Amino acid sequence: MKKTRILPSLESIVIGVLFFCATTVTSQAEDGMNFSLGTGVYTAGVYMGSDETYVAPALLLQGTYSVGNVSLSLDLLEGPGVIYTNPQHNIMFRFGATFDQERNSQTYSVFGQDKDLSNKTRNLLQDTPTVKTDFAPEAATQFMSRAGILGISAAYHPTSVDYSFPGQIYKDLDGWLYAISYANEYTLAEGLLLSVMGELTYMNQDYARAWYSVEYATPKLEKFAAQAGFRDLTLGLQATKKLSERIGVALLLAGTRLLEDAADTPYTVETFQPTAMLYAFYTF
């Protein structure tokens, strides 16, 4: 069975899917187990909308088990997934989940490790609630053609908003994200592949309220009532060089432009969020 391309949500980052695209350059998967391991250097914002960035070592790990048209996947970034491919109609279905999305006033997460925010960002987020989604299931469909892959997805984000002051009401909200995405790959030279991706994401009212509203004014943030609407537009570009049958290197560049109330909220200091990563990988 030929390995196919998956288009998951770009929210947590285009890294997962472009890492998947990169590793397919070095091998064609057969039925059974396949693994990909990558390591490199990664930079991004400490939270979506921040003007503070970090640079950190990156570890990427992906495993798949395929039988016929069905594949089970486990990704260090994207979580588990089940994929069904219909080659006759060039359609692919994916069911998966992501874990542990959080914003708080003290720390941020880098590949599962908590790091302290800078004094500047802690001051901005002073007295703001902890917003957290423990588990977010997602369903996606991809339509494959010579012109590229068009994807649509829906992800459920049950989100808690936990305030630290008496009288401020704890909230459980039913957030939803809906996205349309596009991806394609171009061979520039022997062993050199260019992957491009784009995704437009829409958030419902509860998602906007959880992540972008300011219910209670803080020393730095005024009250703000975020509404449902487009959350962001993300574009990604990756160059992948095959060094051998199983080894390659890749450079990823991506940018997210926050839109509508995701851009207007007081939480957002910078509406453009760049991401970059340079890494090497091995498939086996």
DSSP letters spanning 71-128: EEEEETTTEEEEEEEETTTTEEEEEEEEEEEEE-SSEEEETTEEEEPPHHHHHHTTTP
Q: What CATH number labels 15-283?
A: 2.40.128
pTM above 0.85, yes or no: yes
The whole-angstrom separation of Cα 42 and Cα 231 is 23
Which residues of the chain carry a pLDDT beneath 50? 1-13, 25-29
Residues 6+ apart with CB under 8 A from 146: none
For residue 13, the model assigns a pLDDT of: 45
What are 251's two structure tokens?
């450079």
What are 114's two structure tokens?
């908590």
For residue 16, the model assigns a pLDDT of: 53
Measured over the CA atoms of residue 154, residue 155, residue 156 and residue 157, the dihedral's sign is negative
Whether residue 9 contacts residue 97, with contact meaning beta carbons closer than 8 Å, is answered with: no
For residue 22, the model assigns a pLDDT of: 53
User: Could you identify the residue written with the tokens 């509860």?
Assistant: 206
For residue 156, the model assigns a pLDDT of: 98
Span between the terminal Cα atoms of the chain, in Å:
16
Beta bridge partners of 109: 114
Measured over the CA atoms of residue 258, residue 262, residue 263 and residue 267, the dihedral's sign is negative
Whether residue 99 contacts residue 134, with contact meaning beta carbons closer than 8 Å, is answered with: yes
For residue 133, the model assigns a pLDDT of: 95
Mean pLDDT, the chain, whole residue set: 88
What are 97's two structure tokens?
């989940």
